[in-house]
Amino acid sequence: MTNPTPILEVKDLQTQFHTQDGTVHAINGVSFVLNKGEFLGVVGESGSGKSVTMMSLLRLIPIPPGEIVSGQAMFEGRDLITMELDDLRSVRGGRIGFIFQDPLTSLNPVLTIGYQIMESLRIHTDLQEKAREERAVELLKLVGIPGATKRLDSYPHELSGGMRQRVMIAMSLACRPRVLIADEPTTALDVTIQAQIIELIRDLREKTNTAVIWITHDLGVIAGLADRVLVMYGGLIVEEAPVAELYAHPQHPYTEGLLGSIPRLDQKGSKLVNIKGQPPNLYEKPTSCPFAPRCPYVFDRCRVENPPLISISESHSTACWWDMDNKRPRNGS
Amino acid sequence: MVPEVAGNGGAPVDAAREVLVSVKDLKKHFPIMQGVFRRQVGSVKAVDGVTFDIYRGETLGLVGESGSGKSTTGRVILQLDKATSGTVSFEGQDLSTLSSGEMRRLRPQMQMVFQDPHASLNPRMTVSSIISEPLREHDEAGGDDRDEKVDELLGLVGLAPRHANRYPHEFSGGQRQRIGIARAIALNPDFIVCDEPIAALDVSIQAQVVNLLENLQDLLRLTYLFISHDLSMIRHIADRVAVMYLGRIMELAECNRLYTHPQHPYTRALLSAVPVPDPTIEAVRRRVILEGDIPSPANPPPGCPFNTRCPMAQERCVEEVPEWRQIESGHWVACHFAEETPDTPVITASSGPILTESE
Distance CA B132, CA B130 (A): 6
Evaluate if residue B193 carries a pLDDT over 90.
yes
Read off the pLDDT of residues A4-20 as tens digits, 9 standing for 90 and up.
889 999 999 999 999 88
Chain B contact set for A190 (CB, 8 A) = 65-66, 229, 294
Going by their DSSP bridges, the two strands A211-216 and A39-43 should be labelled as parallel
| Average pLDDT of chain A to the nearest whole number | 88
**What average pLDDT does this structure show over A74-92?**
88
Evaluate if residue A268 carries a pLDDT over 80.
no
Look at A224 and B282 and tell me if their CB atoms are within 8 Å: yes
Residue predicted with more confidence, B16 or A271:
A271
For A174-229, the DSSP string reads TT--SEEEEESTTTTS-HHHHHHHHHHHHHHHHHH--EEEEEES-HHHHHTT-SEE
Evaluate if residue A289 carries a pLDDT over 60.
yes
Chain A contact set for B270 (CB, 8 A) = 191-192
**What average pLDDT does this structure show over A257-277?**
83
**What average pLDDT does this structure show over A286-298?**
90
Read off the pLDDT of residues A128-187 as tens digits, 9 standing for 90 and up.
888 889 989 988 888 888 888 888 898 988 888 788 888 888 888 888 888 999 998 888
DSSP designation for A92:
B
Evaluate if residue A109 carries a pLDDT over 80.
yes
Chain B contact set for A278 (CB, 8 A) = 172, 174, 205
Look at B285 and A264 and tell me if their CB atoms are within 8 Å: no
pLDDT at B359 (0 to 100): 55
Nearest CB neighbour to B204, from listed A199, A257, A268: A257
Evaluate if residue A120 carries a pLDDT over 70.
yes
pLDDT at B4 (0 to 100): 43
Which of B93, B67, B69, B92 shows the shortest CA–CA distance to B81? B69
Evaluate if residue B10 carries a pLDDT over 50.
no
Look at B281 and A196 and tell me if their CB atoms are within 8 Å: no
Evaluate if residue B8 carries a pLDDT over 80.
no
pLDDT at B13 (0 to 100): 47
Contact criterion met (CB below 8 Å) for B262 and B327: no
pLDDT at B226 (0 to 100): 96
**Percent of chain A's residues with pLDDT above 90:** 32
Look at A191 and B274 and tell me if their CB atoms are within 8 Å: yes
| Average pLDDT of chain B to the nearest whole number | 88
Evaluate if residue B14 carries a pLDDT over 70.
no
Chain A contact set for B274 (CB, 8 A) = 191, 220, 265
Q: How far is A301 from chain B (nearest CA, A)?
A: 25
Q: Is A130 on the interface with B (CB under 8 A)?
A: no
pLDDT at B37 (0 to 100): 82
Look at A196 and B290 and tell me if their CB atoms are within 8 Å: yes
Look at A192 and B65 and tell me if their CB atoms are within 8 Å: yes
pLDDT at B231 (0 to 100): 93
The per-residue b/e assignment along B101-121, b for 16 or more CB within 10 angstroms, e otherwise, is eeeeeebbebbbbbbbbeebb
**What average pLDDT does this structure show over A263-290?**
82
Q: Is A276 on the interface with B (CB under 8 A)?
A: yes
Chain A contact set for B275 (CB, 8 A) = 198, 218, 220-221, 223-224
Residue predicted with more confidence, A142 or B318:
B318
Evaluate if residue A310 carries a pLDDT over 50.
yes
- Residue B322, C-beta contacts closer than 8 angstroms, at least 6 positions apart: B303, B304, B334, B335, B336
Evaluate if residue A287 carries a pLDDT over 80.
yes
Contact criterion met (CB below 8 Å) for A160 and A137: no
Going by their DSSP bridges, the two strands B85-90 and B331-333 should be labelled as unpaired
Read off the pLDDT of residues B133-157 as tens digits, 9 standing for 90 and up.
998 888 766 677 888 889 999 999 9
Banded model confidence at residue B16, pLDDT cuts 50, 70, 90: low
Q: Is A194 on the interface with B (CB under 8 A)?
A: yes
Read off the pLDDT of residues B259-291 as tens digits, 9 standing for 90 and up.
999 999 999 999 999 999 999 888 888 888 888
Which of B138, B134, B137, B161 shows the shortest CA–CA distance to B148? B161
